[in-house]
């Protein structure tokens, strides 16, 4: 029998996530400027919620590095080119490990979650729904970590999923050929099924590197910050 547990505020937690989502979008779209002070009461009034969910949302964004505590309140932090490079280097490390672990399994795990994500990408591409496409795109990469069977890889990946989704929706997809991007994801699945791990890793690297470059250039236009030169390997 499960022992009694301390009650949790499920509704408030959900509202806190919604507040975080709203503020995150505003930050990555440049609607909240670097250094801008976030006034708890003003945001609560604007979003028509109590101050509790706003505080919960602040804590989420603080962990993501988008805001920081200053005195009794919070301020918006700058999102630099180096942050995007770090995000993508972490993604490639996690996703490459996930892909390798997946392909080392015999037989291969069920890849239907990847194909379902691709199907959602195609639908979003047809309707030119950038936000739906961003969610499906991220859903593909999350599913790739899931099918690897490594719970902690999937867990670490999902810690950065919200900021990745917001950035992709605000930058990478603006000038992208959504159908071509969808096909590149399908190429990864086909290479996994073919069993060629080197080609699959190379395709994943090329895809992530291209996405990173597009995001850095787009973010530079939004933020006004220059794209840093890549260090030679």
Report the mean per-residue pLDDT for the chain: 88
The C-alpha atoms of residue 157 and residue 118 are separated, in whole angstroms, by 19
DSSP letter string over 171-211?
Answer: IITTT--HHHHHHHHHHHHHHHHHT-HHHHHHHHHHHHHHH
Is the distance from CB of 40 to CB of 55 less than 8 angstroms? yes
* pLDDT in the model for residue 4: 52
Q: Give the predicted TM-score (pTM) of the model.
A: 0.82
The C-alpha atoms of residue 36 and residue 46 are separated, in whole angstroms, by 16
Beta-ladder partners of 38: 74
Which residues fall within 8 angstroms of residue 70, CB to CB, at 6 or more apart?
37
Is the CATH code 3.40.630.30 the one for domain 81-223?
no
Local structure of residue 227 (DSSP, 8 states): P
Break the chain into its structural domains and give their ranges.
11-76, 81-223
The number of helices, as runs of H, and strands, as runs of E, in the chain is 10, 3
Beta-carbon-side half-sphere exposure of residue 181 (alpha carbons within 13 Å): 29
Beta-carbon-side half-sphere exposure of residue 24 (alpha carbons within 13 Å): 25
Beta-ladder partners of 75: 37, 68
Using pLDDT thresholds of 50, 70 and 90, give the confidence band for residue 19: very high
* pLDDT in the model for residue 2: 47
CATH-assigned architecture of domain 11-76: Orthogonal Bundle (1.10)
* pLDDT in the model for residue 33: 85
A 10 A CB-CB count for 217 gives: 14
- What is the mean pLDDT of the segment spanning 193-203? 96
Which residues fall within 8 angstroms of residue 31, CB to CB, at 6 or more apart?
25
pLDDT tens readout for residues 35-65: 999 989 989 998 889 999 999 999 999 988 8
- What is the mean pLDDT of the segment spanning 190-219? 93
Beta-ladder partners of 73: 70
* pLDDT in the model for residue 3: 52
The C-alpha atoms of residue 157 and residue 187 are separated, in whole angstroms, by 22
């Amino acid at each position: 029998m499960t022992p009694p547990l301390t009650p949790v505020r499920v509704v408030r937690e959900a509202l806190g996530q919604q507040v975080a989502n709203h503020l995150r979008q505003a930050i990555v779209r440049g609607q909240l400027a670097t250094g801008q002070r976030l006034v708890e009461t003003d945001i609560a009034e604007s979003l028509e919620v109590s101050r509790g969910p706003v505080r919960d949302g602040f804590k989420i964004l603080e962990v993501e590095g988008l805001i920081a505590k200053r005195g009794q309140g919070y301020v918006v932090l700058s999102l630099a080119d180096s942050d995007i490079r770090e995000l993508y280097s972490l993604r490639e490390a996690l996703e490459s490990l996930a892909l390798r672990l997946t392909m080392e399994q015999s037989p291969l795990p069920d890849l239907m979650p990847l194909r379902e994500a691709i199907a959602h990408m195609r639908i979003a591409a047809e309707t030119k729904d950038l936000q739906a496409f961003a969610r499906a795109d991220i859903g593909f990469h999350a599913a790739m970590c899931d099918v690897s069977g490594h719970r902690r890889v999937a867990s670490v990946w999902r810690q950065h999923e919200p900021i990745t989704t917001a950035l992709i929706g605000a930058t990478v997809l603006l000038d992208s050929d959504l159908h071509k991007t969808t096909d590149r994801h399908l190429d990864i699945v086909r290479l996994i099924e073919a069993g060629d791990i080197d080609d699959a890793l190379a395709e994943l690297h090329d895809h992530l590197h291209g996405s990173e470059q597009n995001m850095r250039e787009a973010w530079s236009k939004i933020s006004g910050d220059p794209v840093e030169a890549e260090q030679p390997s």
